[in-house]
Amino acid sequence: MMRRFVLPGRGTSTLEIDYETDLNEQQLAVVTCGSGPKIVIAGAGSGKTRTLTYRVAHLLERGVPPAGILLVTFTNKAAREMLGRVEQLTGLSRHRLWGGTFHSVCARMLRRHAGLLGYTDSFSILDERDQRDLLKLCITDLDVPVKQRRFPSAKVLAGIFSLQANTRQPLEELLSERYIQFIEWLETVRKISDRYASRKQAANAMDYDDLLQRWLEVLKDNKQIRDRYREQFDHILVDEYQDTNIVQAEIVEIMTGAKKGVNLMVVGDDSQSIYAFRGANYDNILQFPKRNKTTEVFRLETNYRSTPQILHLTNASIEHNKEQHKKVLRAERADGMLPALIPCSCPEQEAEFVAERILQLRDEGVALSDIAVLYRAHSHRLSVETTLLRYDIPYEVRGGLRFFQQAHIKDLVAYLRLVENPRDEVAFRRVLLLQPGIGNVTANRIWNAVTPQTSEGDALVGTFENMDIAGLLPSKARACWPEFVKTIREIHAFREDPETAISIVLDSGYREYILAKFDNSESRIEDLQQLAIFAGQYDSLNKLLEELLLLGELYGQEVGSNRQTNDDEPPIVLSTVHQAKGLEWHSVFIICLLEGFFPSQRSLDEPGGEEEERRIFYVATTRSREELYLSYPIIRAGGYGASVVQQPSRFLQELPETLYETWHLEEEPNGATNRNGGASQDFDPNIDPIWDDNEPLGEPWLTD
């Protein structure tokens, strides 16, 4: 027996939306435009979300049925926000609209047609952890020698397969270009990929990339289904189009193909296309008007976030990119202070400036949570992070761990701790478990056998050499054991030279371990190289380890009650520029603006790399509402006691001097802390500067 229950339709809002009052002229043109392919170039802070939601509301008012509108976003948060705003504007339940991320929309459609692919409609969706677990089973199935140092971990394999899916690069080409350390395993990796695909099918499961790939497969292979959705969706709107990959762009084009893109609107900012490393294809947004010949181009250029002074600098920077949709951001805000350029003598002075200025801003009433320090790569933050800890300024690292909490940092420091204190069981076990062929059982045996006979680092080496450790090891660990003992011996020999000791660990095979285990291996190696340079300030392992302990989370617990987020004082944010996209703060510090750092040398070596790096700089500068600080150290430690004079970033050198104010840093006598002074904007000619305004930006000079 069945009963029908009809929910009352909410219909559209009885409230009339005053579009002309609520929107600016450029936004109104987008919201009320007619049919045809449209591209909306929406500059940073220009009200893109507002424009999209009003566009949907306007379509509903014009009589377009809710089921005829498809709104695609890139994050669940953005989808909820947009659909919620549409509901508020129109009174129409968000559940009656087709909207969500690419993955959620494709999953919804695949549930209806899974049988065409040999799946049931109850197929599972694998998250990242599930994906790694299934890949481990595939590795076991194929009896792959995973204990060999250079074989990629399941996490790295997942990253390789995902990038291959999003870029459609042949596996051999992808490994050659981005994962050259694994090229010797090409055929094995290919077999794992095939096995992974068959295991997913057998398990009635798809991973995130499959949701896109398999839906595209259904569209390509089934004309009836293609026509059905082309007929259903009168209007397709795609947000953040600059971040789409090849697969996503093809899905959109196929779903609008019958109408030749007549009612497709893509929205995005080509100047914020910064995810090529994930497979995003910049040409999708750049070439959209060429692929759709009748495209009407709209621009949203009124910025509601930043002051005119910040936008003048931003516009001047991004205009150096040749491959772009031209636009000029205009401020709605009143005038503010000029962005500040701060040349610093060294990274430590740069970090001290950041900390001192943050404290001044707090005294001026700016909440710490409304301040951010941005950088191109996590390894650039070390000096700032250690200085914030010394100043007891609470902070959080967006999208990551604190520097000394990271696994690779703890691994390396464990080697140093073991040499300094052989009875440090945590360090002992951590180091042993990094060795090929050694698991928990073997580590326990070695610990129980060695510890009673060891008290000093040299005794540890002697114990390793004199005891029959080989008898405690499984066969696959015996070949590598002498190399491990050699590493411990060499670290002990350089106890008075921490920088060299760290380099010994890296060169002992830990570098290869990182390359095989982590998908962001190059970034982690850079972290360790920066740690080695940092260690060069200390003349013994003991002093270095004492300092690291005082700096906080190294042994698993924070030192000092104020070093974590607390309710009384929300923390400032430390973040890479990529993690900061879409966010904003009152004051933003962009640090380490040096050639080879920002822009990244690795990116400069890639086709189109300089322009993408400049787009990253654009994203960084547009995060600030009121105050923007651009800093760089003139001299950085180059390793083994050497100091290297650095060149300021080209992104600074190409800026007109009228767009920023140079702040000259002065040291107070006897190292007194200046809590009321900070940057001297009235330069005292009696004090030797570290910077000469008469010299070009790229050629600083130093006093003796």
Residue 43 near residue 267, CB atoms below 8 Å: no
Catalytic residue of the set 38, 48, 299, 636: 48
- Picking from 228, 225, 266, 236, the residue whose alpha carbon sits closest to that of residue 64 is 236
Catalytic status, residue 239: yes
Residue 560 near residue 549, CB atoms below 8 Å: no
Distance CA 126, CA 124 (A): 6
Distance CA 311, CA 659 (A): 10
Distance CA 173, CA 635 (A): 39
Count Cβ atoms below 10 Å from residue 426 Cβ, excluding itself: 13
- Picking from 344, 218, 209, 309, the residue whose alpha carbon sits closest to that of residue 665 is 344
Secondary structure (3-state) at 506: helix
- Picking from 302, 306, 304, the residue whose alpha carbon sits closest to that of residue 625 is 306
Residue 84 near residue 60, CB atoms below 8 Å: no
> Which tokens sit at 97?
């609209």
> Which tokens sit at 326?
């031209």
| DSSP 8-state class, residue 47 | -
Catalytic status, residue 50: no
Distance CA 171, CA 178 (A): 10
> Which tokens sit at 51?
């424009």
Catalytic residue of the set 207, 209, 239, 356: 239
Residue with tokens 């495209």: 295
Cis peptide, bond prior to residue 696, ω within 30 of zero? no
Catalytic status, residue 230: no
CB burial class (10 A; 0-12, 13-18, 19+) of residue 320? middle
Q: What are the C-alpha distances in Å from 301 to residues 24, 48, 327, 332, 584?
A: 10, 10, 7, 10, 18
Catalytic residue of the set 614, 623, 625, 650: 623
Longest dimension (CA), the chain: 95
The backbone torsions φ and ψ at residue 639, rounded to the nearest 5 degrees and listed phi first, read: 105, 140
The residues facing 633 across adjacent strands are 344
Catalytic status, residue 623: yes
Catalytic residue of the set 87, 209, 210, 240: 240
Catalytic residue of the set 32, 49, 213, 232: 49
Catalytic residue of the set 53, 164, 242, 272: 272
- Picking from 288, 117, 70, the residue whose alpha carbon sits closest to that of residue 219 is 117
CA terminus-to-terminus distance, the chain: 94
Distance CA 236, CA 324 (A): 24
Secondary structure (3-state) at 238: strand
Q: How far is CA 470 from the centre of its chain?
A: 44
Catalytic status, residue 565: no
> Which tokens sit at 294?
């009748």
Residue with tokens 């049925």: 65
Q: State the amino acid at position 286 in one-letter form.
A: L
Distance CA 646, CA 594 (A): 7
Q: Which residues contact 477 (CB under 8 A, 6 or more apart)?
A: 435, 436, 437, 438, 442
Distance CA 507, CA 67 (A): 60
Residue 672 near residue 351, CB atoms below 8 Å: no
> Which tokens sit at 40?
């909306």
Q: What is the DSSP string of 554-573?
A: SSSS-SSTTSS--SSSPPEE
Distance CA 697, CA 200 (A): 56
Provide the annotated active-site residues. 48-49, 239-240, 272, 623
